[in-house]
Structure 1
Amino acid sequence: MRLSSALAVLLLSLPSFATAERLQVRLATLEWPPYVGASLTGQGYAAQVIRTACERRGVDVTFDLMPWARALMLGLRGDVAGVMPEYRNAQREAEFAFSAPFPGGPVGLYKRHGDAIAYAVDPGRDLDAALRSVARHRIGIVRDYINNTTFDRADYLDREEAANDSVNLRKLAHGRVDLVFVDRWVAEYLLQNDPLLRDAKIEMLQPPIEEPALHVAWSRQSEAAAAARPLCDEGFAELQREGTIDRLRERHGLAPKN
């Protein structure tokens, strides 16, 4: 039956309630404040950056917090769309498809105040030589973390694994290791918020090793990840242009205090 012209005009003038279906993705992550945390504002800086970037392009992201080893396993299998936040390196690139970068924080080695430990060479000029100059010291690392390519390949280092950064920093404070590899903002957050670390006298060995970018490591086994990745990358670029990421860094305490 043909609609009358008046009725057709009326129908065309009514608002449409049909909207494009948004893509839903699930990312696995860990408690790593101030970057990610269940009790943090927006679930942390990294979670807020990723969520905001992806939402700009019609991708809704939820975060499942769990041990990092389990997050990696689920991402490799495609049971989640990816894992975050991650540093880029050859090992992970063989396993995951990486997002566009967004800023992280300085990483390096922490020591106890007063300990006579120093690099013989600026790590920015020759990281291998700098690491060799501290190789006699025991260094705490977190199990299954990517740290820095040169550091991770340095088989001459005496490394000792722990479950997380809190445990490592406590071991450092109590003299069970001599150095700890950790992100500056993670260390500062824990020193302020972990009751067992509030009296710890530790500091980063200067200068930092590097300031690596953070990424979403998208699963290569997930169709949702393949669809979401280019959309979210567009969102990251937009946030960078607007200065939104810089504002989020400041809001979450990840910007240096002048």
Structure 2
Amino acid sequence: MEKKRSAILLAQGIALAFLLIAGAGFWFYMSMDPNLAKALDKNSRTLVIANGEWVPYQGASLTEGGPMSRIVTAAFERQGWTVEYVYLPWAQGLSMTERVKTDATMLYSYNDERGKKFYYSDPVLELDTVVFYNLNKPVRWERPEDLKGLTLGGVEKYDYGFVREEDGYRIRRSSDPANNHRRLAEGRLDGAMEEVLVGMKILREENLQHRISFHPTPVKRTNYHMIISKDHPRAAEILQVFNLGLARIKEDGTFTALLEYK
């Protein structure tokens, strides 16, 4: 009987500990995932936008958040609105924006999955993704089929246009884009796919600019946008304000001036 009672008490203790841990985890999660959106107030002209690290375009360590942050801020300011940025991991920023815990997030290309959940602004930036190659083993291609049979470096979960594993292309993916350039320099890859300026910045940082170059033909040409959840009650208004401001700063030359990579 005593053993049975001890077993019951032990089970109750474990269950209580589990509930306490689960509860603490829930409240910790809630404290880390607050509702930051300010435009839910219909009179507010201040937005909280989820930003991310994408050097040299945007990032907390860049001057004024980088050129893309400066451009988005300027577009709203031209319309009399203000912007506050919160820097988050990409997945968290996207999730919080989808659930209207932030007013918007930036910058994203279009895909069908996101298109079901988000409205897209007018294009803020157009970028080319190209194939970088080792100068000792140049990559020359004209047709998509020319890249089949090569092992190409890529970033995890990134879309490379027509270069898809399911279509017979070999992509060795990494969470760190710089790893692809190191592997390329070591001869462990035939090529590495990266956006032109991002790739060139990595080459300078890794001191590989004299060992690696790129083919100018893009595997993907992409427009990038600010996006807003379709559940945001002021989504249409925010998009209209931003698109008008963006058009105006492009017309008067402000956009070009802000595009400097400091």
The 8 Å contact of residues 184 and 190 in structure 2, kept in 1 or not, is answered as: yes
Q: Residues 111-140 of structure 1: CA distance to partner in whole angstroms, max 9, x if unpaired? A: 111214211x2xxxxxxxx23211111222
Flag the 1:38–1:97 CA change in 2: closer, same or farther, 3 A: same
When normalised by structure 1's length, the TM-score is: 0.75
Counterpart position of 1:205: 215
State how far apart, in whole Å, the 2-side matches of 1:54 and 1:234 are: 9
* Structure 1 residue 216: Cα displacement: 0.6
Counterpart position of 1:219: 229
Are residue 137 (structure 1) and residue 147 (structure 2) matched?
A: no
Are residue 179 (structure 1) and residue 194 (structure 2) matched?
A: no
The 8 Å contact of residues 79 and 222 in structure 1, kept in 2 or not, is answered as: no
When normalised by structure 2's length, the TM-score is: 0.74
Q: Which has the higher strand share?
A: 2
* Structure 1 residue 235: Cα displacement: 0.5
Are residue 252 (structure 1) and residue 231 (structure 2) matched?
A: no
Give the % identical residues. Answer: 23
State how far apart, in whole Å, the 2-side matches of 1:203 and 1:63 are: 35
Secondary structure, counterpart of 1:208 in structure 2: strand
* Structure 1 residue 210: Cα displacement: 4.7
Counterpart position of 2:135: 113
In the TM superposition, structure 1's runs of 4+ consecutive aligned residues that sit over 6 Å from their partners are: none
Counterpart position of 1:52: 74
State how far apart, in whole Å, the 1-side matches of 2:175 and 2:55 are: 15
Corresponding pairs, count: 220
* Structure 1 residue 92: Cα displacement: 2.7
Counterpart position of 1:27: 49
Are residue 168 (structure 1) and residue 180 (structure 2) matched?
A: yes
> What is the letter of the counterpart of residue 198 of structure 1?
N
The 8 Å contact of residues 132 and 156 in structure 1, kept in 2 or not, is answered as: no
Secondary structure, counterpart of 2:71 in structure 1: helix
Flag the 1:27–1:164 CA change in 2: closer, same or farther, 3 A: farther
The 8 Å contact of residues 52 and 90 in structure 2, kept in 1 or not, is answered as: yes
Flag the 1:203–1:246 CA change in 2: closer, same or farther, 3 A: same
Are residue 158 (structure 1) and residue 166 (structure 2) matched?
A: no
Q: Residues 200-243 of structure 1: CA distance to partner in whole angstroms, max 9, x if unpaired? A: 52111232335432211222222354432110111011011112
The 8 Å contact of residues 112 and 173 in structure 1, kept in 2 or not, is answered as: yes
Counterpart position of 1:125: none
State how far apart, in whole Å, the 1-side matches of 2:106 and 2:179 are: 21
State how far apart, in whole Å, the 2-side matches of 1:183 and 1:54 are: 27
The 8 Å contact of residues 85 and 217 in structure 1, kept in 2 or not, is answered as: yes
State how far apart, in whole Å, the 1-side matches of 2:158 and 2:63 are: 24
Are residue 88 (structure 1) and residue 110 (structure 2) matched?
A: yes
* Structure 1 residue 99: Cα displacement: 0.3
Q: CA RMSD in A?
A: 2.4
Counterpart position of 2:29: none
State how far apart, in whole Å, the 1-side matches of 2:113 and 2:165 are: 11
Are residue 233 (structure 1) and residue 243 (structure 2) matched?
A: yes
Query: Gaps (5+ residues) in structure 1?
Result: 1-19, 122-129, 254-258
The 8 Å contact of residues 98 and 228 in structure 2, kept in 1 or not, is answered as: no
Secondary structure, counterpart of 1:27 in structure 2: strand
Query: Gaps (5+ residues) in structure 2?
Result: 1-41
State how far apart, in whole Å, the 2-side matches of 1:21 and 1:228 are: 12
* Structure 1 residue 49: Cα displacement: 0.8
Flag the 1:151–1:223 CA change in 2: closer, same or farther, 3 A: farther
Q: Residues 52-86 of structure 1: CA distance to partner in whole angstroms, max 9, x if unpaired? A: 10121233222222322222222332222222111
The 8 Å contact of residues 69 and 144 in structure 1, kept in 2 or not, is answered as: no
Flag the 1:243–1:146 CA change in 2: closer, same or farther, 3 A: farther
The 8 Å contact of residues 140 and 168 in structure 1, kept in 2 or not, is answered as: yes
